[in-house]
């Protein structure tokens, strides 16, 4: 696997958008790159989700070696997606810790905090983890961001329900956005 250096990794504040949690985006990009460059010596235990990601995203020769090793091992059993049993989950978790610490540090700068508050999005999971690392005043600012994000999604959900009443069923992805806000982007964390 190609090792990412601090210079090749996009700063977390550079991933902030009005539509997706910056931490989720960083983790999705990390996980995708990890699976694209995964070697057999880096993946001995994997959960169901990451077994499928290895099958779909890891180079075929590496994925074959990973699966052959697992099948040949009489004691092999699927790893839990929690508890750091899965090698890929553990690497994603470690990256999450680095990225949350990075964002918490960057939010200590008034300009970044103000810009992120006005323009960023965080899911509840990552927002609450960041709040736990910040001084109270800065944590209050992130809570206001989460409140704003939640209010925007509530508005979108209410509009959707009104459209359904008149026979329009197109949600425009609002249900997915609500799920992402509540539990993070799909297939990022167990």
pLDDT of 2 strictly over 80: no
Q: Specify the pLDDT at position 190.
A: 63
Which tens digit of pLDDT belongs to each residue from 155-184? 999 999 988 888 877 766 888 889 999 988
Instruction: Answer for the pair 122, 139: CB distance below 8 angstroms, yes or no.
Output: no
Which tens digit of pLDDT belongs to each residue from 15-53? 766 678 989 999 999 999 999 999 999 999 999 989 999
Rounded CA gap, 179 and 34, in Å? 24
Q: Specify the pLDDT at position 19.
A: 75
Both structure tokens of 178: 């609500």
pTM of the model: 0.82
pLDDT band for position 77 (cuts 50, 70, 90): confident
Instruction: Answer for the pair 181, 124: CB distance below 8 angstroms, yes or no.
Output: yes
Instruction: Answer for the pair 180, 186: CB distance below 8 angstroms, yes or no.
Output: yes
What is the four-CA torsion angle of 48, 51, 52, 56, rounded to 10 degrees?
170
Which tens digit of pLDDT belongs to each residue from 116-145? 888 888 999 999 999 999 988 889 989 999
How many CB atoms lie under 10 A from the CB of residue 108? 12
| H-type alpha helices, 58-135 | 60-72, 87-106, 110-119, 124-131
Rounded CA gap, 72 and 64, in Å? 12
Rounded CA gap, 182 and 125, in Å? 7
Round the average pLDDT of the chain to a whole number and report it: 86
Instruction: Answer for the pair 170, 163: CB distance below 8 angstroms, yes or no.
Output: yes
């Amino acid at each position: 696997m190609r090792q990412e250096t601090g210079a090749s990794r996009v700063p977390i504040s550079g991933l902030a958008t009005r539509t997706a949690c910056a931490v989720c985006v960083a983790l999705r990009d990390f996980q995708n790159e990890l699976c694209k460059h995964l070697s057999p010596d880096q993946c001995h235990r994997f959960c169901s989700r990451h077994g499928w990601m290895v099958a779909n995203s890891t180079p075929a020769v590496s994925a074959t070696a990973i699966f052959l090793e697992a099948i040949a091992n009489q004691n092999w059993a699927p790893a839990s997606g929690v508890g750091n049993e899965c090698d890929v989950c553990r690497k994603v978790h470690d990256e999450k810790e680095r990225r949350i610490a990075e964002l918490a540090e960057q939010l200590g700068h008034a300009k970044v905090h103000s810009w992120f508050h006005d323009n960023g999005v965080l899911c509840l999971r990552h927002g609450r983890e960041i709040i736990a690392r910040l001084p109270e005043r800065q944590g209050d600012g992130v809570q206001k961001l989460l409140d704003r994000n939640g209010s925007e999604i509530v508005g979108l959900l209410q509009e959707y329900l009104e459209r359904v009443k008149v026979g329009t069923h197109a949600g425009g992805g609002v249900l997915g956005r609500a799920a992402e806000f509540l539990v993070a982007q799909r297939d990022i964390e167990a």
